Each structure stands twice: as C-alpha cells, then as structure tokens.
Amino acid sequence: MHLSLLCLAKPVLHGYFRSSCSWRVRIAFALKGIEYDQVPVNLIKDGGQQLTEPYKALNPMQQVPAVEIDGVTLSQSLAVIQYIDETRSGPRLLPADPKKRAQVRMISDMIASGIQPLQNLHVIQKIGAEKVQWSQYFINRGFQALEPILKQTAGKYCVGDEISMADICLVPQVFNAERFKVDVGQYPTIQRLNQTLLEIEAFKESHPSCQPDTPPDLRA
C-alpha cells in the first residue's frame, strides 16, 4: 500500500529551464504523459542555487536535474529516463530489440557523456573568455562522430522510426550547438532529425522557451 501511494504522488523535477539534462527529463515525462511538478534551480542567480547546502543534500553533484519519484531521488537524466520507461506505461523510450536498444544507448551516451558535459556551465565558467571557441570545437568534434552513426541508424528518428532516448538527447544538444553558433547545416542528418522532432508536441511543450522559470525576454 505504501509503495502504491508513492507511485500515485507526482514526481518533482528540480531543474533549470535551459539545462540540457533537465530538458531531457521534461521530454521524457511529456512523451509518457506523466504529470509532474517543477522546482526551479537557478544556476546563475545568487552564485548558483545548485551550490546551496539544501540542494547539495538533494544532489551531491550539485547539478541539475534531481528528480524525486516513487520515494527515491535520481540525479542523472539517463537514469531518470530509463527508470520511468521501466515503471510507467506509454510509448517505449528504449526499443525492445537488443541491437536497436544498444544503438539508442550508444547515441545517448555519446551526447550525454561525450559532448554535452564539455559545455556544462561549471566547465565553461572555468574556461572564461574562450568559452565559445571551446564549445564550438567540442560540439563539432562530437557531431563529426555522431553524423555518420546516425546515417546508419536513422529512419524517421535517430534509431529507426520510433522516438527513443537518443532523440531525447539529440534535440537539447542541437539547441546548445545553435546557442554557441555552430553551423548545424554541416550535419544534414542531425539537422533533419532535429527539425522533425521539434514538430512533435512533447518536444515543443518541454522547450526551454516555455518553462515556469524561463526569463520573460527568452519566452516564445
């Protein structure tokens, strides 16, 4: 009974409107049709609200997101996505086929471990004046590897014709690339997939331009 009550409670997403990792979780919740509450964590205000002791108790890495769900707190976006895929009904976010599932995980890890962390706010704050060139270099380096892989795996979406965790990771990363003035047109498969996905309601409603903590001047 206690576990059932926990499952009935709305998940709580502690995140930041422009955080790639927070956006991934918002997309996953939207695709699954899961209602959730948001608690904004401003990564810039007051020196960074993620650095406070109360938030550190929630997420010792002092990053976003942190998700309270079913009586546990999860702090890595891919772990959250896979957890809700395993515990909630709705469209699968990882394919049933083992080879396709491995491809989805490979693409997701390339982005979430190999590309995005190098534009993490904490990293680029350390880089300082060279942050744009730094970000452009590592995004291009990652996309140069990702493009030929997606040419092999993609159908309508990143892996075949079903939306997956790989698509959830791709769209926020392209958004980052555009923020740092990367010419995404160099990567036609990435560009095509991104454009297709941005037409889907789950990706629209989870977009950084329409979150509760989006500053007025950045709203859609």
Residue 2 has pLDDT above 90, yes or no: no
Report the pLDDT value the prediction gives residue 54, as an integer from 0 to 100: 92
Q: Looking at residue 7, what is its pLDDT?
A: 59
Name beta bridge partners: 39: 14
The domains spanning 2-91 and 98-204 adopt the same CATH topology: no
What is the per-residue pLDDT across 51-76, written as a single tens digit (0 to 9) for each? 999 999 999 999 999 999 999 999 99
- The answer to whether 112 and 120 are in contact (CB under 8 A) is no
Are 68 and 61 in contact by the 8 Å Cβ rule? The answer is no
CATH T-level assignment (fold) for domain 98-204: Glutathione S-transferase Yfyf (Class Pi); Chain A, domain 2 (1.20.1050)
Please tell me the CATH code under which domain 2-91 is placed: 3.40.30.10
Beta bridge partners of 160: 154
pLDDT at 220: 79
4-14: per-residue pLDDT in tens?
555 568 999 99
For the chain, the domains span 2-91, 98-204
pLDDT in tens, 191-217: 999 999 999 999 999 999 999 999 999
For residue 89, pLDDT beyond 70? yes
pLDDT surpasses 80 at 1: no
Q: For residue 181, what pLDDT is reported?
A: 97
Indicate if the pLDDT at residue 102 is higher than 90.
yes
DSSP 48-115: -GGGSHHHHHH-TT--S-EEEETTEEE--HHHHHHHHHHHS-SS-SS-SSHHHHHHHHHHHHIIIIII
The two tokens of residue 116 are 């995005």
Q: How far is the C-alpha of 134 from the C-alpha of 50, rounded, in Å?
A: 24
pTM of the entire predicted model:
0.94
